[in-house]
Structures are given as structure tokens and as C-alpha cells.
């Protein structure tokens, strides 16, 4: 069983349309949408959901305001700006009830360490009524505040970051997800989707997993390519496309994954297409196809159809040839 | 004033709109800064062609263990939520690429065996381009701490001028880091089913962050009316529509900005800025 990942570096080059076309051509595959930030493949494949599960990417801190003594130790330890003073807290009463702001503590502290200053203030019985809370968008779940809170006022709770699904499509089983809005841990969700797709492939004797990846070169992309068998980079003949291809190719080469390139919208700038082919050769990558700009990409989307289902003109033939070359690489 | 240009879907025209807006404002005599926070694939320099004046390494702290001082108590490994430090009786393994730089291991080590050293995750570059102050972050290949790099670039924000932030695509941590603290967000989309789906996700994100926003539609004419209808239904202003135009696409492919190829567009971008200001006043 092999894993094919479709990525692009630059966004909007046509990854998802091409992934859907491959899904329609593959005889015996599992489809995995790993672009969990902005998943679109379901809009073409219209999956029927068979099983839905919550995704929890990890834990986050929560302060019990009734237990918080306002000492600020959490604030001094948090490096993500996730500890914030409650907006409702009265500024004049904040922190130090009887403090006259002489700042002797701050000036006398030779290392100017916030923790020490806070401890000093506390030991003088000055800690007052400031209430802190956690900004859960900023919290990275490091648990450091939980560990150091002197009165155990901070809980460390599992949070649900999204949902993932096992579905049926007209081209075979599909694993996909919906990351909660403004949620993190997309890398972990990608890893989970790949694991589940593999499980299904093993159970149902599927020989290929087609993975639709996300743009960029960061954590979700790394999670979708690690250990995969083949990467197809879909690029476009623009300076941005060229720049991003170079970066994404370095990434796949760091991970020692065989990488192929296809140039979409190739006729927008034929000269740039040539330059990209040359660049790919220098990077040791094979360009296995060039697809001309075609409105069919959008029209197929509007019909919720894969490109091959929508049209049998030139681009369908080009994509079929690219698919044959991919199968050849696997064989 | 901080304006972020973001989108759920990639490749919709964030960089096109943010660079053209910055350049139009600069030509009109405004003090404006463009910050490329799409640190994984930053492309603004291709269009603005800045003179880079400073280049600096961006680093994050990672632990360094002095085994002579280590007692093998294992507290560092127990606290670390990212499996970035593992302690056994006579050795401590640090996996720098998993480290989130929370400082927990350093704070909890009872014998002071752990100190912090700096690890490079990318570079920051600053300069000027025809009157636009320019800044960009570029993540090293294989690094994952995109938010830390974005935070570094955002330190350049100057309160008394117009700051335009070119955000990464998506709806998760890098985007949130980029747009947080903005006065206004412009969400760029295209009139297609993918564009609409990802716009809905982006709107959900911006609403949670409680930042005023509006929509710009790029490549108008390629798809259908579903994006416009959605915006009407949700009471979202559409402040800019750029038609699908092969001339723009071809110029884009060579790194030429719309306002260079078709100077009439300057007025459109200046109007966009005026409309953003009006929307903010009416809040």
C-alpha cells in the first residue's frame, strides 16, 4: 500500500481539483483530505458520512477565578501571552492592595526577574485581588502555569479542536476532518487522518492512499508528507509559484521523499513554465506534466464533479497521462 | 492603523491586494508599511522589489542540559507536553524541532542543569520599496514555529502609520497570530465553491477574534454569485472586486503589480482604504 501526497507550497494552484481527478481515476484507493485548515475536497466528492468522531489535539489551561489569589506566577511563566488580566478587574485594586507603588521591590531586585519580584511582593502580604484568565487562542498547552500555580487554581483540561469523519464517496472511502474555527494542532489532526486512512486501506485491501495536502511548508505539511511514498507538487508558472516550489522541494528532499512536479495553468506564462522546468531539473525533480489554463477547473467545481467526469477534452487527457506516470513511478 | 489581509483558501490574491494597496497609499503620499507574515511562503518581495537594509536571524530558546549538574530526577520530561525532552537515569535527550520554547523544563529543573540556548527558525528582513516600508519573515525549511516568526515581524508595527499585514492562508495558529491585534481584516476570496467554503471558515475565525472585517472578491466572473449572496445574507460589506483578467494574471506571473500594469487601479485601492476607514468610524 502506497501513499501519494499532493502539495503545492503556494496556495490556489489546483491541488484539490487534481486530487479529485486522481480519486476518480484510481481503481482501488482511499482518499484523505489533509488540508484540515481549509478542507474543500468534500465539495467535489460529496461524501456520505459513516462515522464521525471528536478530535482532541491536546490540553489547555483554565484558571478557577474563585481559587486564584492574583499572585501572577502564571503570568510570569507564560511565554505565549496567554495569561491575561481580567478585563473586569478593577485597575486600582489590581495586584497589590496596600501597595503605594514605591517600586522598591522592582528597583532592589538585582536580576529584575518578574518571578522574584512577585514572590517578594507576595511574601510581604501584598498580593491582592487581580484575577487572571487564560486566552485559549494563545494557550499552547505547555502546562507550565498549571505546574507552578502555588494554590492549584489552574486546571489542565482536554479540549475538543474539531471533528473527523470516515465517509463513502463514489470513488471509494474517504477520511476527512473539520478543524474547529480558530483551533490549533492541525499537524496532529493530519497525522490522525493519515493513520485512519491507512487502517481502512489495510482492512479493505486498498493499494493506494491519495492525500490532498495544505499550502505552505509548516507543521500540517510536514505532518502530511512524513513517511509518504511519493509527493506531487502542483505549481504554476509565476514568480511566486517558482519561489514556493523551490522551498517545498527542499522540504521534501530533507525528508527524502521522491517528488514529482506538475505545472498547472502552464500557458499563462510559457516562458516561466520553461524556467520552472529548468529549475525542477536543477533540483533533481521530474516534471511529469503541464496542464493549460482551463475554465473547466472552475466549471467542474460548480457541478461538484471531478475534472474527468466533467470534460473529456485536452486537460482530461493531460491529467490521465500524469496519472499513468504516477502509477509507473509506484510500479 | 493595522489592516490585515487574510483568506481561508490559499492563492486567492492576498499578496496581490496587500502589495497593491500599500503601493497605492505610498504613491498618494501616505506613510505605509507592508509586513509579509506569510512566513512559510512569503512572496511580497517579488512584487514590491524592496531594497533590503537589514537581515537578521530569528531564534527561539531551546533547552541545553549540563549532564554534570543533572540528577536524573526526570521532572523536565514529565512536564514537557511536546515530547521535546526525555530524561533517563544517565542521559537527557532534547528534540529541538519539537520544542515549543515554553521554558517549563528550565523553570522546573531543581538542580539548575538546564539553560536556554538559541535555535534559528528563520530570518527577518527589513527595507524600503518606493516609499513603502517593507518587512518579511522567512521560515527555515523544516522549522515549525511559524507563530514565533510572525510575532517577531509584528514587532515592527508602528502605531502612527498604516501597517498592512499579508497573512498566511488557513484558519489556524499562524493566521491567528498574524491578524491578532489588527484594527481591520480584509478577507480575500474568489467566487467559486472552494472560495465560498473557505470564506465561511475565515469569517467564523474573524468573528471569534472580534475584529471588524470586510470581503474582497478576486477573479470576479470565473464562478457564480454564491459568494456575493452569502455576503448579502450575512451583512458583510464587499469592498473590492477585481475582475478575472488575463492581463492581470500574466503580469502577476512576471511579478508586476496591477497598479504598475494598469495605473487606473490606484484609485480603486485608495477607495478601498477610504471605505475601510469609513467602516471603522461607523462601528
Q: So what's the pLDDT on residue A70?
A: 80
pLDDT of residue B281: 87
A218 to chain B, any CB pair closer than 8 A? The answer is yes
Give mean pLDDT, residues B45-51: 98
Share of chain B above pLDDT 90, in %: 93
Establish if B100 touches chain A: CB-CB under 8 angstroms.
Answer: yes
Closest CA to B59 of B141, B174, B126, B145: B145
Mean pLDDT of B75-80: 96
* Dist CA B95 CA B81 (whole Å): 12
pLDDT profile of chain A (331 residues), mean per 10: 96 96 97 95 97 93 87 90 70 50 64 66 55 87 95 93 96 94 82 97 97 94 95 98 96 95 96 97 95 95 96 94 96 85
Q: Percentage of residues in chain B with pLDDT exceeding 70?
A: 100
Q: What is the pLDDT of residue A89?
A: 45
Among A112-116, A237-241, B130-134, B231-235, which is the least confidently predicted range? A112-116
Pick the residue from chain B with its C-alpha nearest to A216: B40
What pLDDT score does A136 carry? 86
Q: What is the pLDDT at residue B132?
A: 97
CB A124 within 8 A of CB A48: no
- Four-residue CA torsion sign, B231, B233, B237, B238: positive
The rounded mean pLDDT for chain B is 95
Phi then psi for B118, rounded to 5 degrees? -95, 135
Cα–Cα distance for residue pair A244/A218, rounded to 1 Å: 12
Task: Give this prediction's pTM.
Answer: 0.89
Nearest chain B CA: its distance from A320 CA (Å):
23
Q: How confident is the model at residue B136 (pLDDT cuts 50, 70, 90)?
A: very high
Set of cell numbers at residue A86: 481580567
CA contacts within 13 A on the Cβ side of A205 = 0
Nearest Cα of chain A lies from the Cα of B224 at a distance, in angstroms, of 8
ipTM rounded to 2 decimals? 0.91
Nearest to B172 among A184, A243, A251 (CB): A184
For chain A, domain boundaries: 2-57+163-330, 60-159
Domains in chain B and their CATH numbers? 2-58+122-281 (3.40.50.300), 67-112 (3.30.70.20)
Of A32-46, A89-103, B53-67, B102-116, minimum mean pLDDT range: A89-103
- Decide if A2-57+163-330 and A60-159 have a common fold: no
Fold of A2-57+163-330: Rossmann fold (3.40.50)
The alpha-carbon gap from B31 to the nearest alpha carbon of chain A, in Å, equals 27
Provide the pLDDT for residue A121.
63
Residue A94's pLDDT is 42
By the CB < 8 Å criterion, does B205 face chain A? yes
Which string of DSSP letters, residue by residue, matches A125-170?
T-B----EEE-TTT-----HHHHH-TT--EEEEEE--EEEEEEEET
Pairwise CB contact (< 8 Å): A141 & B81: yes
Evaluate whether the domain defined by A60-159 bears CATH number 3.30.70: yes
Amino acid at each position: 500500500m502506497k501513499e501519494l501526497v499532493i502539495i503545492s507550497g503556494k496556495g490556489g494552484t489546483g491541488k484539490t481539483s487534481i486530487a479529485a481527478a486522481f480519486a476518480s481515476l484510481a481503481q482501488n484507493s482511499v482518499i484523505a483530505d489533509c488540508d484540515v485548515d481549509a478542507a474543500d475536497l468534500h465539495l467535489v466528492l460529496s461524501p456520505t458520512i459513516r462515522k464521525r468522531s471528536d478530535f482532541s489535539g491536546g490540553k489547555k489551561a483554565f484558571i478557577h477565578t474563585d481559587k486564584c489569589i492574583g499572585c501572577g506566577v502564571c503570568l510570569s511563566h507564560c511565554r505565549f501571552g496567554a495569561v491575561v488580566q481580567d478585563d473586569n478587574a478593577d485597575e486600582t485594586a489590581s495586584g497589590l492592595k496596600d501597595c503605594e507603588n514605591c517600586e522598591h521591590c522592582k528597583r532592589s531586585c538585582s536580576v529584575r526577574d518578574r518571578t522574584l519580584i512577585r514572590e517578594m511582593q507576595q511574601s510581604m502580604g501584598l498580593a491582592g485581588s487581580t484575577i487572571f484568565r487564560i486566552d485559549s487562542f494563545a494557550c499552547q498547552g505547555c502546562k507550565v502555569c498549571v505546574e507552578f500555580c502555588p494554590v492549584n487554581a489552574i486546571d489542565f483540561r482536554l479540549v475538543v479542536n474539531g471533528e473527523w469523519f470516515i465517509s463513502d464517496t463514489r470513488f471509494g472511502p474517504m477520511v476527512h476532518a473539520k478543524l474547529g474555527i480558530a483551533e490549533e494542532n492541525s499537524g496532529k489532526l493530519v497525522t490522525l487522518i493519515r493513520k485512519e486512512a491507512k487502517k481502512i486501506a489495510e482492512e479493505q485491501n486498498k493499494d493506494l492512499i491519495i492525500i490532498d495536502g495544505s499550502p505552505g511548508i509548516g507543521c500540517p505539511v510536514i505532518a502530511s508528507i512524513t513517511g509518504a511514498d511519493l509527493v506531487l507538487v502542483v505549481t504554476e508558472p509565476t514568480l511566486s509559484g517558482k519561489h514556493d516550489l523551490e522551498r517545498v522541494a527542499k522540504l521534501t528532499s530533507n525528508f527524502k521523499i521522491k517528488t514529482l512536479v506538475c505545472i498547472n495553468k502552464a500557458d499563462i506564462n510559457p516562458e516561466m513554465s520553461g524556467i520552472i522546468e529548468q529549475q525542477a531539473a536543477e533540483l533533481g525533480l521530474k516534471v511529469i506534466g503541464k496542464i493549460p489554463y482551463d475554465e473547466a477547473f472552475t466549471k467542474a467545481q460548480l457541478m461538484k464533479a471531478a475534472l474527468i467526469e466533467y470534460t473529456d477534452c485536452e486537460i482530461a487527457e493531460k491529467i490521465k497521462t500524469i496519472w499513468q506516470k504516477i502509477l509507473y513511478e509506484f510500479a | 492603523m493595522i489592516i490585515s489581509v487574510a483568506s481561508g483558501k490559499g492563492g486567492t490574491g492576498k499578496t496581490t491586494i496587500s502589495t497593491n494597496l500599500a503601493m497605492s497609499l505610498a504613491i498618494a503620499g501616505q506613510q505605509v508599511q507592508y509586513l509579509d507574515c506569510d512566513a512559510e511562503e512569503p512572496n511580497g518581495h517579488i512584487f514590491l522589489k524592496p531594497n533590503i537594509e537589514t537581515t537578521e536571524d530569528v531564534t527561539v530558546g531551546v533547552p541545553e542540559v549540563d549532564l554534570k549538574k543533572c540528577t536524573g530526577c526526570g521532572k523536565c520530561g514529565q512536564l514537557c507536553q511536546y515530547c521535546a525532552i526525555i530524561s533517563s537515569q544517565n542521559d537527557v535527550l532534547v528534540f529541538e524541532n519539537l520544542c515549543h520554547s515554553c521554558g517549563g523544563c528550565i523553570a522546573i529543573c531543581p538542580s539548575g542543569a538546564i539553560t536556554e540556548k538559541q535555535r534559528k527558525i528563520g530570518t527577518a528582513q527589513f527595507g524600503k520599496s518606493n516609499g513603502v516600508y517593507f518587512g518579511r519573515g522567512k521560515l527555515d525549511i523544516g522549522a515549525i514555529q511559524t507563530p514565533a516568526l510572525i510575532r517577531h515581524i509584528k514587532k515592527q508595527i508602528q502605531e502612527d502609520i498604516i501597517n498592512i499585514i499579508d497573512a498566511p492562508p488557513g484558519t489556524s495558529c499562524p493566521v491567528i497570530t498574524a491578524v491578532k491585534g489588527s484594527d481591520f481584516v480584509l478577507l480575500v476570496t474568489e467566487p467559486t465553491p472552494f472560495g465560498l467554503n473557505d470564506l465561511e471558515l475565515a469569517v467564523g475565525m474573524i468573528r471569534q477574534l472580534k475584529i471588524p472585517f470586510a470581503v474582497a472578491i478576486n477573479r470576479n466572473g470565473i464562478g457564480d454569485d454564491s459568494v456575493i449572496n452569502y455576503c448579502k445574507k450575512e451583512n458583510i460589506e464587499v469592498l473590492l472586486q477585481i475582475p478575472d483578467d488575463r492581463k492581470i494574471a500574466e503580469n502577476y506571473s512576471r511579478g508586476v503589480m496591477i497598479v504598475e500594469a494598469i495605473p487606473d487601479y490606484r484609485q480603486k485601492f485608495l477607495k478601498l482604504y477610504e471605505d475601510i476607514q469609513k467602516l471603522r468610524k461607523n462601528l
